[in-house]
Structure 1
């Protein structure tokens, strides 16, 4: 019997299958510093213990997207090692904060399977739950990924696609300490919940070019060993002819770019849905714009929530793109991410 793990192919998955992923990860200060180095993330809450204490924490919590990557990376060996592409996300929630020194681990359940008509691949839908060392949930997500088939000559015609909610429910209790004070000089932004309007569009001006070294090292940091991100020799024989950038890099970059205009929206409450619309490669320059979809009041007096739609673009500025889709409802070729997510943002009563 071979001792080598070649990863799972489409035929290896079954509806209801439960997978306990290996390699729990204890998070260090180095992880935090490297994330800033790879993304340029600037949210003050995740950069400064002083700011975190002013807001109400004992120390700075991990950036929610960094925690997503470090936890999500546990699933790759079992779910997407033989992936063609990670296609999308739904109903992602962040129930509890994570801090340096915490250990995260992940389990998944297969909730859907759809064989593609070409008989060469299929889409696997999974529900994954991440916990810390105390068993407290820190990440709850559903995603779907296109995976190679092992045997192209046999077709199952399975077509069981799960349904997803249009948004992640807002709970009465939000696990964020009562916000004591927000120092706008420290956060770099003066706008609070009351200052935003529904249907408002923020054209973030910065662009970030991603090099092979950037996305390769970042993906290694997350222990994401999907072949399409690392094996250039293999990828040269595919229609892409080069390595595919991990979609999570695009999410992180878009979130980083959104800082300019959303400086005080320092918590991600949920990711309602996310679509990787077109592939991204080394050398592409990423831009982004954000639409305010909804303002959500909460029973807490210190905060509100904004439902946002951030569109990430490659090699086009926001001013060059009026709509993400064409007249036929297809994403434009320069649109690489359509992310619908909900953030927590303080109200003016917390302003220093």
Structure 2
């Protein structure tokens, strides 16, 4: 039986126990009230000189004694139910804890299996990719040694978000980014293509059609993989994409992005690989698991600084400082990586129009 079913049974049993405890209290109150009334009637019988009144009061006392006895028996019966419900509660609680532990262990085994399968696929893909990469390395190195000054065009940012299980606030993050940019000095110099339920098709379409200067991903990842969504309406497990496949997709355009920001857990190794392999000149990733709130706040402040004309380096530092000022624990997790010969403090992605 699943933990959710045990949880529902436990909640029902707790309600039964609380109702039974309420019945015990009511019965005890009735018993106490009846005994007090019986004692009062006997006192009145002893104090009166009228034989008629005495008999009436004694009969009343007898009735109250019977009411008290009945209420006491009812209280005892309800107390037995309370004890039974309490015992069943403890049993259900133990079963719930075992079910939760079993489900967590199963989920962990599934996660490890997925990572192992992704790593095996990546090993085979890496060999073929390295052969093609060496052929283009000289040309790529020349391009990546310098970042061109922004042309007379807006900065295009592709916002990709994937949370197929519904556990991340992707829409909230994209809204916060837009709001932060709209309040900045050079808001008219930035254009977004937002895809909050991004599939791998959205990735390729956005790269080749929108030709973004910045690719921003928010969702789930690790050092070796990244998770996109399937084209489904219901919640699902998502599509696991290797870091190498994602890198090749980013590179599959005549105008590669200048910056990739992976706003997802444990993505710093992927960011480092993107610049080391000359895929992009600048990349940002997270050094460990980052809370959803921390990731959202970092992204909003980073793009606000970019839209205010700050360099990539200063924008990154401002976003981390904002997290620290707000008392958020993840301020040290965002990591900026740059290719050889690239100085992030000299890279300004948004400049005012002349």
**Could you tell me the TM-score, scaled by structure 1's length?**
0.24
The structure that has the greater radius of gyration is 2
Which structure has more strand as a fraction of its residues?
1
Q: Which has the higher contact order (CA 8 A, sep 6+)?
A: 1
**Could you tell me the TM-score, scaled by structure 2's length?**
0.24
Which structure has more helix as a fraction of its residues?
2
